[in-house]
A = this chain, B = another copy of it.
Amino acid sequence: MTSQLASVASAFLSNRPREYTIGDLAREFGVTLRALRFYEARGLLTPRREGLARFYSSRDRTRLSMILKAKQLGFTLSEIKAIVSDPLRPEESETIRLSSDELEEQIAHLERQLAEIEAALTELRDMRRELVRAA
């Protein structure tokens, strides 16, 4: 039996809430230990400390999940801090709640980036066509 399994079983048997090591979360979400520590330094995660060791609750795990979803949506970590720390948002829910303003701004922001990349791609594809034609 791995120590991972042992700790899950132990928590279950004693009715303790489940906790995760930094390695557990890193593996599950495909991020580095460094990233998790960095999110903590930025105030996005606040794991329990036992000496120097970190222990993450299932609420920490939920927050991490929201942080990574918000990152996929293109928000910066300081924007994400505001989003996941908002006291008006439901605590235990994994879904990200954005205000109408946040939505519109982010959509506009990404649309600008999209346009820049599309313009670059158009130019590069034109250059490729020229290369093929010259061959």
Contacts and interface: CB of A to CB of B under 8 A. Distances in A.
Interface stretch (A9-17, A20-28, A106-114): A106-114
B128 A103 contact: yes
A120 B123 CA distance: 24
Contacts of A100: 128, 131
B107 A121 contact: yes
Interface string A42-53: 000000000000
Copies of this protein in the assembly total 2
Contacts of A104: 128
Interface string A107-135: 10011011011111101110110010000
A116 B121 CA distance: 15
Contact of A110 (B98, B106, B124): B124
A33 interface: no
A72 B119 CA distance: 9
Interface of A: 72-74, 98, 100, 103-104, 106-107, 110-111, 113-114, 116-121, 123-125, 127-128, 131
